Amino acid sequence: MSDGKSLQGFSQGLSKGLGPGGPLLSVEGVTKHYGARLGCADVSFDLWPGEVMGIVGESGSGKSTLLGCLSGQLAPDAGRVLYEMKDGLTDTAALGEGARRRLMRTDWAFVHQNPRDGLRMGVSAGGNVGERLMGTGAQHYGRIRGAALDWLGRVEIAADRIDDRPSAFSGGMQQRLQIARTLVTGPRLVFMDEPTGGLDVSVQARLLDLLRGLVREMGLSVIIVTHDLAVVRLLADRLMVMQGGHVVEQGLTDQVLDDPQHAYTQLLVASVLQA
């Protein structure tokens, strides 16, 4: 069965039919265990087009598990992740393999904490960006190279580095290249896992600035996991705070950070203020 057919039959059966104007992603009761250990429990929220949702919490609170479940890399034990497709909100778990791969190549993107997980280290910088475009059907060499050059410029990598391999780049440059590779296809939804983690503070600040500009300019919807409250303060419209696999507080970022209600959030905010 072709991707198109499997998608069509699938969404006829499963879509909620909310159509345009509704959420881009709807998460319902997502729960994941590793044997007896809880990863995340009963997480529900809607993500709206153009919205940036931050997920914060200390190490082991379940952020990566939740991000894995949302992005289709982990199968939840319970709950559903619905994504707005042609025929309405569609259960991503029921997508055929081909349709899921196509979604990951076009509409969705993932920025990994370690750029090596998102780049092909043996391929040139231009090749890394062009390759993702080719995955969406682009074939014209001149146009692909032009788009790669354009994107290198947008992430502040000099044009004369286009034929260099990422292994010759600094950590910050590698992360910017990963972002170029991720965004060149114009995704609607971007998952980010600690995108500024492991970088020097000054490099982080520059990267955050760049990310903020691109997110706003492209009107991206983003789900970003971080343990760094400064990152969500700058990027996220809304915030979810996780502890022990549970969402203990959620709301508008400024509201949550300026007037935290849950004792754990109060502790998180206080620990940053003391640092």
Ligand X SMILES: Nc1ncnc2c1ncn2[C@@H]1O[C@H](COP(=O)(O)OP(=O)(O)OP(=O)(O)O)[C@@H](O)[C@H]1O
Contact stretch for ligand X (CB under 6 A) within 34-42, 76-84, 88-96, 130-138: 34-42
Q: How far is the CB of 167 from ligand X (least distance, A)?
A: 25
How many positions of this chain bind ligand X (CB under 6 A)?
A: 12
Binding of ligand X at residue 11 (CB under 6 A)? Answer: no
Q: How far is the CB of 133 from ligand X (least distance, A)?
A: 31
Task: Please state the φ and ψ torsions of residue 224, each to the nearest 5 degrees.
Answer: -120, 125
Report if residue 227 touches ligand X, rule: CB under 6 A: yes
Q: Per-residue x/- mask for ligand X, residues 54 to 73, rule CB under 6 A?
A: ---x-xxxxxxx--------
**Residue 195 makes contact with ligand X by CB under 6 A:** no
Question: Least distance from C-beta 218 to ligand X, angstroms?
Answer: 26
CB of 246 to ligand X, least distance (A): 11
- Distance between CA 40 and CA 76 in Å, rounded? 9
In angstroms, give the least distance from the CB of 141 to ligand X.
40
Q: Compare residues 37 and 212 and give the one whose CB is closer to ligand X.
A: 37
Q: Which of 5, 37, 212, 216 binds ligand X (CB under 6 A)?
A: 37
Closer residue to ligand X, CB minimum distance, 111 or 214? 111
The least CB distance from residue 205 to ligand X, in Å, is: 21
25-34 vs 78-85, strand pairing mode:
antiparallel
**CB of 206 or CB of 246, closer to ligand X:** 246
Residues β-bridged to residue 150 = none
Which CB, 65 or 265, lies closer to ligand X?
Answer: 65
What are the DSSP calls for the chain, one per residue?
--HHHHHHHHHHHH-----TTS-SEEEEEEEEEETTEEEEEEEEEEE-TT-EEEEE-STTSSHHHHHHHHTTSS--SEEEEEEEETTEEEEGGGS-HHHHHHHHHTTEEEE-SSHHHHS-TTS-HHHHHHHHHHTTT---HHHHHHHHHHHHHHTT--GGGTTS-GGGS-HHHHHHHHHHHHHTT--SEEEEESTTTTS-HHHHHHHHHHHHHHHHHHT-EEEEE-S-HHHHHHH-SEEEEEETTEEEEEEEHHHHHHS--SHHHHHHHHHHHH-
Report the residue from 26, 27, 39, 222 that binds ligand X according to the rule CB under 6 A: 39
Least gap, CB of 57 to ligand X (angstroms) = 5
> Half-sphere exposure (CA, 13 Å, Cβ side) for 19?
0
* Region 65-124 residues binding ligand X, contact defined as CB under 6 A: 65
In the bound state with ligand X, the residue whose beta carbon lies nearer, of 45 and 151, is: 45
Q: Please, which residue, 36 or 273, has the CB nearer to ligand X?
A: 36
Cβ 144 to ligand X shortest distance, Å: 35
CB 30 within 8 A of CB 69: yes
Where on the chain is the footprint of ligand X (CB under 6 A)? 34, 37, 39, 57, 59-65, 227
